Every structure is written in C-alpha cells, then in structure tokens.
C-alpha cells in the first residue's frame, strides 16, 4: 500500500475527531438539516484533502536526495 493511503486514513480519523467538538447547530437556520449535513461533509472532505496533501508534500520536499 502507498504511504499516501495511510496518511489519508490517519488524517480522516483526526479530522472526524476534531470536528466532533464543533457545535454547528447555532450556525445554520432552523429546519435546514440537509444543507447543514452536506456542508459538514464537504468541510470534512476538504479538510482531509488539504491536510493530507500538506503532509505528503512536506515529506516529499524535505527528503534529501
């Protein structure tokens, strides 16, 4: 398996754990449950992608050839 796969798994667990502490009920309007869930999902996927890419690129750029 590739290293990138393990980075994605680790970051996914970290992002889900950290987003669990955020109370998003106050941000959205009442009776907009589906929009809030879609936003929460897209926010989580975006964070997972950005953090994973940062870690992977950081390790690639810090390698001494």
Q: In this structure, are residues 15 and 42 in contact, taking their beta carbons and an 8 Å threshold?
A: no
pLDDT of residue 21: 87
Q: Which two tokens stand for residue 46?
A: 């975006």
pLDDT tens for the chain, residues 1 to 65: 788 899 999 999 999 999 988 887 788 888 888 888 899 999 999 999 999 999 999 988 887 65
């Amino acid at each position: 398996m590739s290293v990138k796969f393990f980075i994605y798994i680790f970051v996914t667990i970290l992002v889900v754990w950290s987003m669990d502490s955020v109370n998003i009920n106050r941000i959205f309007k009442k009776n907009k449950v589906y929009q809030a869930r879609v936003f929460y999902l897209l926010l989580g996927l975006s964070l997972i992608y950005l953090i994973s890419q940062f870690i992977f690129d950081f390790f690639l750029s810090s390698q001494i050839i």
